[in-house]
Amino acid sequence: MLHSEPTDISWCLFLSLRLTTITAMSVGSALVGHEHVPNYKWLLQAFGKAHLKPPLMILTDQCPAMKQAIASVFPDSRHRLCIWHIMNKVPNKI
């Protein structure tokens, strides 16, 4: 049976970018229910366990829960906002 109720599920995609050859490789993805800090912390901790070192930079949309989770789990990683998400919201804000 299909449900017509809205869901609060986010898709998180982890990419590894190699700037010297300008290539991207998918290194993981996950579906996260509800955009809450504990859910994102769990996801980032699982990602951290699967890799040898923390990411140098993390690029996200403007989700406040993700921002808090990144600061907690990867305090030395640089968190940057995705320009596409910012520009996509501009028409709604004007």
Sequence ranges of the domains in the chain: 10-90
9-13, 20-24, 42-46, 78-82: lowest mean pLDDT where? 20-24
3-12, 34-43, 74-83: lowest mean pLDDT where? 3-12
Which pLDDT does position 7 carry in this prediction?
60
Which pLDDT does position 20 carry in this prediction?
73
What whole-number distance in Å separates Cα of residue 53 and Cα of residue 50? 9
Which pLDDT does position 75 carry in this prediction?
96
Which pLDDT does position 1 carry in this prediction?
41
Which pLDDT does position 67 carry in this prediction?
93
The answer for residues whose C-beta is within 8 angstroms of residue 62's C-beta and 6 or more apart is: 81, 85, 86, 89
Which pLDDT does position 18 carry in this prediction?
73
What whole-number distance in Å separates Cα of residue 60 and Cα of residue 80? 7
Which pLDDT band, with edges at 50, 70 and 90, does 3 fall under? Answer: very low
